[in-house]
Structure 1
Amino acid sequence: MNRIATLLGILLVLAATGCAMPTERAAQTEAQGVVFVLVRHAEKAKDDPKDPTLSDAGMARANRLAESLAKQHVVAAYATAYRRTQLTAAPTARSHGLDVRTHDAGMPAVEFARQLRASHRTGTVLVVGHSNTIPELAGALCACPVAPMAEDEFDRRMDIRIDADDRATLAQRRD
């Protein structure tokens, strides 16, 4: 009897402190909507002029991105077919047990945004692209103006949150 009372007491404490059960967490995630995290690939190496890998600084940036998303519920990671974008997305995908999904860099931003929004209603989705694709995709996802990205700009991160009511907000930061 004492053990049952102790267990009931523990359960009551957990419930009172907001410890969510798995179904509650799923409902909370559903209510919060989806966050699309858009970044340009990290710094390129000089090993191949057409399809370079990442420099040491680029690998460090890709790892910092993964660390910044470690506590998020990342449900997908997308990158174009280039090595630099795949390598930027890889640490995040790996840490969440995901494969990097390849998307066509030439696909119109409005079409890709429509596909992303239709495929993902909850969680966090990483999308790695290029200086000439990420701002346009961000604008298409949030239906808001987004400044172009300079050729030497590798540190801008754009988070587009779309809530359960389909309202989008854009937050930008430097990482």
Structure 2
Amino acid sequence: MKFAILCAAAGLALLPLPARAAADLVFLVRHAERAAEPAGDPGLTSAGAARAQALAQALADAGLKQIITTQFRRSQETAAPLAQQLQLPPQVLAARRGEAEAHLREIREAVLHQDGGALLIVGHSNTVPAIIAALGGPRLPDLCESSYQHLFVLRLPVQPGVPASLARLRYGEPSPAAEAACL
């Protein structure tokens, strides 16, 4: 699965962005801390709910015009406080096993068709790095399973030949120390 997502991101990253990318900034986070149950689609823990509130506080004045989540409760619940605060209903783009390339393409299209401003994408430990690469950012390792604090800010290029720039910030309570092979 990881290899397939990386291959899809690598292929999409090679496609040129338009001369004027529609969104100026893309904020990307992994969903907040998830509960163990129900196994198929858990919601957030109390720590996750607190992190979702911290995200709403951190991005309240970021000029968001769109929020993108997956169909999973944990991603939707992470975005919910901010979406309610901004009165901005999230766009749900399904992330399905074996369809990583289609998911990345849908996200890329949503980013490129936004009319300026900023957007937030709430993804998963293995999709956030792939999305960054698909939008022209660097290729990063997957996020650690215990890592929830990362807030990536991707500034899209305004003209061809100019690379996207990426800042890695933190929000909410610190996550446990990361393992060597992931962020």
> 1:116, CA displacement in angstroms?
2.8
Provide the alpha-carbon RMSD of the alignment. Answer: 2.2
> 1:121, CA displacement in angstroms?
4.5
Deviations 1:16-35 (A, max 9, x none): xxxxxxxxxxxxxx9x9511
Which residue, out of 121, 125, 132, partners 1:127?
121
Q: Which moved more, 1:45-54 or 1:72-81?
A: 45-54
Verify: 1:169 aligned to 2:157, yes or no. no
Which residue, out of 141, 145, 153, partners 1:159?
153
Verify: 1:77 aligned to 2:73, yes or no. no
Deviations 1:69-121 (A, max 9, x none): 11111101111001100000111111111111100213425413431332124
SS at 1:76 equivalent: strand
> 1:150, CA displacement in angstroms?
1.1
Structure 1 counterpart of 2:176? none
Question: How does 1:1-175 map onto structure 2 within 5 Å?
Answer: 34-106=24-96, 107-108=100-101, 110-165=104-159, 167=162, 168-175=164-171
> 1:134, CA displacement in angstroms?
0.8
Which amino acid in the other structure matches residue 85 of structure 1?
Answer: S
In the superposition, relative to structure 1, how do residues 105 and 33 fare at CA in structure 2: closer, same or farther (>3 Å)? closer
Which amino acid in the other structure matches residue 40 of structure 2?
Answer: K
Contact 2:67–2:83 (8 Å) recurs in 1: yes
Q: Decide which structure has the larger Cα Rg and report it.
A: 1
- Of all paired residues, the percent bearing the same amino acid is 33
In the superposition, relative to structure 1, how do residues 84 and 118 fare at CA in structure 2: closer, same or farther (>3 Å)? same
1: distance between equivalents of 2:147 and 2:118? Answer: 23
Contact 2:23–2:112 (8 Å) recurs in 1: no
User: TM-score normalised to the size of structure 2?
Assistant: 0.72
2: distance between equivalents of 1:113 and 1:169? Answer: 18
Contact 2:137–2:166 (8 Å) recurs in 1: no
Gaps of 5+ in 1: 1-29
Which amino acid in the other structure matches residue 159 of structure 2?
Answer: D
Aligned residues: 146
